């Protein structure tokens, strides 16, 4: 059956078509005959309890000109769409949160939304991992420099600090006891003890095997890649020079997914990216997780097909 699928995303003209997971979803849905609608979060609105969007019918393809609008755009009630994919990249700022609140007005008896707006509001990509103490490394959330220093001492002298609203490796530092910059880093990341940050035990495996990105669908692991940092970097994010390397799914990966699945399903966080270093979960990415195209190439698979299968099944279940 042909469905109308709206995709809320960043400006379509800026997509990196050989890397972007949203683009892979759109291609797969289009190949099945579904009708694609493009919009940004600023195109959402509400009149009373009726949520609407100004959206453009579009087509995508792997070419220099990778998209084409099929009309001049029109206003639609959100229930016009059978499915909505919320794929806006971070930051999760006030405008993002307002957009999820508008999306929460959608009648779920008519429209499937991935990921669930309330789940997106609940799941800060750093703090959400605290719900799974058996999966994460020793972790502290505080704005207090003295507590950060004591934690660094407890963890053997090396920790990672990162802002709670960061993304893509921004503001992430590896801090070592004895470094004369420690106080300055703590002050910078906490904004002089005015905002809490996350500190975690440094896991040395990140420098050898890298940071694993595991893609999970409805709590089940689909595939993974290692993102190995450059020799002059502590961060392994692909956009700062990390290299994608083939990664098997391990027993520990499956254990971590099993720990998370009940909560992920309850919160409607159907498509997530787990960051795993060694045996530890470090982050749960829920806004617009990436890595699908890299896994596809390294493992000769088609993960987007499984995701669109899932979306179709959810829409069909609505009747």
**Positions marked catalytic:** 126, 162, 213, 227, 235, 275, 283, 285
| Tokens describing residue 21 | 């997971």
> CA-to-CA distance for 302 and 71, rounded, in angstroms?
30
| Tokens describing residue 217 | 């669908």
For 148, phi then psi, to 5°, come to -65, -40
Which segments of the chain are extended strands (E)?
Answer: 4-8, 35-39, 44-47, 50-60, 67-69, 74-77, 83-86, 112-114, 139-142, 158-163, 173-176, 197-201, 211-217, 220-228, 243-246, 271-277, 280-285
Other beta carbons within 10 angstroms of residue 74's beta carbon come to: 12
> CA-to-CA distance for 118 and 122, rounded, in angstroms?
6
What is the spatial order of strands in the sheet that 197-201 belongs to? 139-142, 197-201, 158-163, 173-176
> CA-to-CA distance for 279 and 203, rounded, in angstroms?
9
Nearest alpha carbon to residue 92 among 100, 82, 84? 100
């Amino acid at each position: 059956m042909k469905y109308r699928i709206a995709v809320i995303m960043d400006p379509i003209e800026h997509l990196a078509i050989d890397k972007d997971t949203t683009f892979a979803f759109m291609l797969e849905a289009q190949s099945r005959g579904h009708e694609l609608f493009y919009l940004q979060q600023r195109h959402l609105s509400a009149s009373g309890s009726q949520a609407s969007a100004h959206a453009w019918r579009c087509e995508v393809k792997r070419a220099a000109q990778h998209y084409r609008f099929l009309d001049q755009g029109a206003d639609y009630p959100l229930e016009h769409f059978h499915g909505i994919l919320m794929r806006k990249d971070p930051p999760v700022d006030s405008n993002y949160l307002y957009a999820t609140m508008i999306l929460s007005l959608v009648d779920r008896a008519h429209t499937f939304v991935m990921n669930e707006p309330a789940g997106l509001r609940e799941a800060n990509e750093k703090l959400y991992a605290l719900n799974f103490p058996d999966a994460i490394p020793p972790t502290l959330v505080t704005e207090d420099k003295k507590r950060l220093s004591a934690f660094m001492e407890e963890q053997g002298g090396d920790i990672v600090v990162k802002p709670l609203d960061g993304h893509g490796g921004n503001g992430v530092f590896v801090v070592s006891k004895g470094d004369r910059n420690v106080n300055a880093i703590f002050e910078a990341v906490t904004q002089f003890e005015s905002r809490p940050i996350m500190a975690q035990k440094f896991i040395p495996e990140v420098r050898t095997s890298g940071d694993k990105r595991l893609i999970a669908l409805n709590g089940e692991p689909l595939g993974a890649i290692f993102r190995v940092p450059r020799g002059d970097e502590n961060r392994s994010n692909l956009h700062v020079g990390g290299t994608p390397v083939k990664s098997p799914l391990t027993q520990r990966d499956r254990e971590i997914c099993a720990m998370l699945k009940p909560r992920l399903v309850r919160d409607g966080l159907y498509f997530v990216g787990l960051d795993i270093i060694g045996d530890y979960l470090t982050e749960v990415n829920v806004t617009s997780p990436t890595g699908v195209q890299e896994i596809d190439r390294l493992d000769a698979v088609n993960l987007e097909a499984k995701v669109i299968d899932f979306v179709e099944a959810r829409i069909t279940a609505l009747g």
